[in-house]
Amino acid sequence: MEVLEKNKVQTITGAEALIKCLLAEEVETIFGYPGGAIMPIYDALYGYKDRINHILVRHEQGATHSAQGYARISGKVGVVFATSGPGATNLITGIADAQIDSTPMVCITGQVASSLLGTDAFQETDVMGVSMPVTKWNIQITKAEEIPAAVAKAFYIARSGRPGPVVIDITKDAQFGKVDFEYSSCHQFRSYIPIPEVDQVCIRQAAELINAAKKPMILFGQGVILANAQNEFKSFVEKSGIPSAWTIMGLSALNNDHPLNVGMLGMHGNYGPNKMTNECDVLIAVGMRFDDRVTGDLSRYAKQAKVIHLELDPAEINKNVRADVAVLGDCKFTLPQITRLINEREHKDWLKQFKDLYQEEYDAVIRQELKPDDDKPISMGEVINMISDKTNGESVIVTDVGQHQMVAQRYYQFKRWRSNITSGGLGTMGFALPAAIGAKIGAPERQVIAVIGDGGFQMTIQELGTIYQSGVDVKILILNNEFLGMVRQWQEMFFDRRYSFTEMLNPDFQIISKGYHIPSNKVEKREELDDALDQFLNSKGSFLLEVMVGKENNVFPMVPSGASVSDIILK
C-alpha cells in the first residue's frame, strides 16, 4: 500500500488522486476502454503502468464481465474504467449481472464537465439515473476534493456485507481540478450495517429444529462462497449428516464427490433433490435466495417443511419463502454456532432415498448423455465428462448461458473451491469469454476453460482481441449445435416445434480465431474427440476448440415453467 511521507500533503490533479486511491486499495488490475471524458484519468494512469495492469477490452460490456470473473475467482473487487455516454451505458448489462449475483465491482466512468450537465452535451448520459436500479451505491463527483472519500466509501460498500457493484461518475473538470491529497480507507458509516447482529435465540431454535428432524435437507448457495465459509459449511454438513444440494451459484462450495452432496437444485437440476424438497421435514437454506428457477411454483414449494434460512441480507428473509427460523448474519460465524449445538447424526435411510432417485435419473438420462450410441451425434454431456476426467475436476469452468451451461454444471465434477463462474441471476449471454479472461488474470496459476454456445460466443466474440493483445491463456470450448439451444428446447416442448428464429447460420470460427492469432481445431466425429481434447487442454497459451454436437438434444431432467419441483420430468 502506498504511504505518503508523514505530514507531507501532495497537491495533485483529481485524476492522479484517483489512481493513488486505487493503489491505496491495493488494486492491481483494471479492465477498461478509454474515451474523451475519462482521458485525464487515463493520462494519469500512464505514469503508473508498472504498478497497475490495465487490460484493454474491445467493448465496455467485456470490461464488466472480465471484472466479474476476476472478482469471483480472487475474492477481490473488480475495477472498470469507461468513458461517458455510450461507454457508460455499455457497462449496464454487466453491472446488473454483478448486482443480482452479488459480485464486488467498482466502475469508474468519465463524465462531461459539470457546467454541461443537463445540457444534452456530446456523449452526456444521466449515469446516476441509469445505473441506480442496478447498483449497490452510486455517486457523481464534480469536485476533485470529493474523490478520495468517495473512492474509499465505494470500495467499502462494494466488498462489505452482501457484495455488489458501485458506480463512481467523475466530471471532466473534477479530473483536471487540484486536490491536497490524503487518503483514509473507509470501515463504517452511519446507517449502513453490512453484517447484522446474530440473534442467539434464533441459533438455538435452528439447532433444536435440526436435532428433531427426521428428514432434513440442506440447500446451499453462493453465500457460502462469498463468506469464505467452505470449512465451516463442511463441518456443519458432516456433523449433521444431512443431504445437501446446491444452486448453480453455490456449486463448488462442497466438492461434488462428497458423500452428502446430492446434486443440483432447480429447473435442470438432479431428480432427487428436486423431488425430496417436497418430502423433507426441515429445510435448511444457507446463503441462497430461493430464486424462482430453484423453487418452481411457490404455492407448492416445501409446504410440509419447517424452513431455516441462514442469510446475510435481511431483504431476502421471507421475500419468496417464509422462514420459521431466520438466522441473520455472516454464515462463516453463524454456522459454527449452530454446529456446536447440533447432535452428530447419520440419516442413512433418508440419504438412500436420494441415491435411489439418482439411480433412476442415471438410467433414464445420464447414461445416455455420457455414453451415447455411435450412431448418434456427440452430446454436450460426453464432452464435459471427458474434460472433467482429463482435468481431474480441478479446472476453473466459466460458462455462458444456455444448454451448455446446465450441462457443464451437471457433468463437470468440481473438486476445488471457487471453480464455477457463471451468470446466474441475470442469465447474460456473452458472459463467458470476457469473464474467463478476468478469471485467468485473477488466478494465473489455474487452468481456465470457457464453455460457450455458438450463440453466446458471438455476442462478445470481439474479446478474442483482448486475449490476443494481453496474451492471457484461456481455453475456449464452443459446443456448437447451430441453434439457440435452450430457446429451441422450449419451442420443441411447449410451442409444437415451431422453431421461430432460433436456428443459427454461423461463421467459420477457425478462420476468425486465426485472425486473432489463436490456434484452433474443430471436431465433427466422435473418434476425433479424445485426441482433440488432449491438444486443447495441453496447448501452451490460448486455444479454441469447436465441437459439433447434436442439433436437437435436450437437457433433462426439467421442471417445466410454472410447475412444482415435484413435477420434474426425466424426458
What are the residue numbers of the active site? 60, 122-123, 172, 486
- How far out from the chain centre does Cα 161 lie? 17
- The values of phi and psi at residue 566, to 5°, are -70, -20
Question: How many other CB atoms are there within 10 angstroms of residue 317's CB atom?
Answer: 17
Question: How many other CB atoms are there within 10 angstroms of residue 1's CB atom?
Answer: 8
Q: Which of 242, 243, 254 is nearest to 211 (CA)?
A: 242
All residues at 6 or more sequence positions from 362 whose CB lies less than 8 Å from its CB, including other chains: none
Laid out side by side, the sheet with 261-264 consists of 261-264, 244-246, 216-220, 282-286, 306-311, 325-328
- Whole-angstrom distance, CA of residue 440 vs CA of residue 461: 17
- What 3-state DSSP class applies to 335? helix
- Whole-angstrom distance, CA of residue 58 vs CA of residue 464: 9
Under a CB-based contact definition with an 8 Å cutoff, are residues 95 and 109 in contact?
A: no
Helix (H) / strand (E) element for 262: namely strand 261-264
Pseudo-torsion of CA 318, 324, 329, 331, nearest 10°?
Answer: -110
Q: Terminus-to-terminus CA distance in the chain, angstroms?
A: 57
Amino acid found at 512: I
- Whole-angstrom distance, CA of residue 98 vs CA of residue 136: 10
| Vertex 297 angle, CA 291 and 301, to 5° | 85
Under a CB-based contact definition with an 8 Å cutoff, are residues 381 and 406 in contact?
A: no
| Vertex 516 angle, CA 510 and 521, to 5° | 25
Q: Does residue 163 have a cis peptide bond before it, meaning omega lies within 30 degrees of 0?
A: no
| Vertex 51 angle, CA 47 and 56, to 5° | 80
- The values of phi and psi at residue 122, to 5°, are -55, 125
Under a CB-based contact definition with an 8 Å cutoff, are residues 31 and 57 in contact?
A: yes
Amino acid found at 59: H
The CA distances from residue 11 to 27, 178, 512, in Å, are: 22, 6, 49
Largest CA distance in the chain: 78
